[in-house]
């Protein structure tokens, strides 16, 4: 079952302080034990810290997986304990925190940064 819209643009830099990314109204009722997120870098606006706090634009073509292969899409799976599923029910709040460590799954080739527009 697909719980979210086919596509949603997410600004991971802003999610650091965002308390609510998805509201329960957007997820169908049910017991959830897993999720898959597909990240599409094709038209991504990627900026990395140059080490001095200055954002540097990086072309999506410069994003690589841990094997050094260029990443255009990345599938991330989350598995919950089946004995303690995420329960979504009408008029009942549910909380699920996910921490994304993109540095653990992506490498950025800074040898050819994107041009600034």
Secondary structure class of 25 (helix, strand, coil): helix
Q: Find the farthest-apart pair of alpha carbons in the chain and give their distance in angstroms, rounded.
A: 51
DSSP state, residue 3: -
Secondary structure class of 54 (helix, strand, coil): coil
For residues 94 and 91, give the distance between their C-alpha atoms in angstroms, rounded to a whole number: 10
Query: For every one of its 117 residues, what pLDDT tens digit does the chain have, with 9 covering 90 and above?
Result: 556 655 666 666 665 544 555 555 567 888 999 988 787 888 888 887 778 888 888 877 777 877 888 888 878 888 999 999 988 888 887 777 777 666 666 677 777 655 544
Q: What pLDDT, on a 0 to 100 scale, did the predictor assign at position 81?
A: 92
Under a CB-based contact definition with an 8 Å cutoff, are residues 44 and 9 in contact?
no
């Amino acid at each position: 079952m697909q719980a979210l819209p086919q596509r949603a643009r997410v600004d991971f830099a802003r999610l650091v302080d965002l308390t609510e990314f998805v509201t329960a109204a957007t997820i169908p009722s049910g017991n959830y034990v897993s999720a898959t997120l597909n990240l599409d870098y094709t038209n991504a606006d990627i900026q990395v810290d140059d080490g001095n706090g200055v954002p540097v634009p990086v072309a999506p073509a410069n994003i690589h997986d841990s094997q050094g292969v260029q990443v255009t899409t990345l599938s991330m799976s989350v598995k919950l304990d089946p004995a303690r599923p995420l329960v979504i029910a009408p008029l009942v709040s549910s909380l699920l925190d996910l921490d994304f460590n993109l540095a653990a799954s992506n490498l950025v080739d800074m040898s050819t940064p994107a041009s600034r527009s």
